[in-house]
Amino acid sequence: MKQHTVIDSPYGPLTLVADDGMLCGLYMAGQRHRPPEETFGERDASPFGEAMDQLTAYFAGELREFTLELRLHGTPFQRGVWDRLRRIPYGETRSYGELAAALGNPGASRAVGLANGRNPVGIIVPCHRVIGAGGGLTGYGGGLDRKRRLLDFERGTALFF
């Protein structure tokens, strides 16, 4: 059974989705590849206490690594990419090529980018920490402005807090 809630954040409203009580989605307003609202289940905040606590601590600058148990729905390759994303340290970045090499397939940077774009749990699975080979900001489902703001926040250079 799916449930969802909406919380405020410095990046706009975030929709949290749970599947049988486990977090399976975190979506920003206007996010690319955001599932239709009717797939989120009934609105009920009860399964999200720990997720909300950790997100609050993250946005306050008090949490650098999420420890939430997630239920991620995707192909084995996508889940492998998402697992690698969770290993990128707070405040650091990796290129798509570096992630592909870490997965044992250095020629798969484009596939890594596609899997990154389908990440269903943004921020917690930090797809914003992936950049282009030349160090530039490239596509982000939540928009490049949000990506830049998240990276600036993690580097301690954000101006909006």
Catalytic residues: 127
> Is there a contact between 58 and 91 (Cβ–Cβ < 8 Å)?
no
Tokens standing for residue 107: 């020629």
Q: Distance between CA 70 and CA 121 in Å, rounded?
A: 9
Give the sign of the dihedral formed by CA 41, CA 44, CA 46, CA 49: positive
**Which residue type does 128 have?**
H
Tokens standing for residue 150: 């998240």
What angle (nearest 5°) sits at the alpha carbon of residue 18, between those of residues 14 and 22? Answer: 120
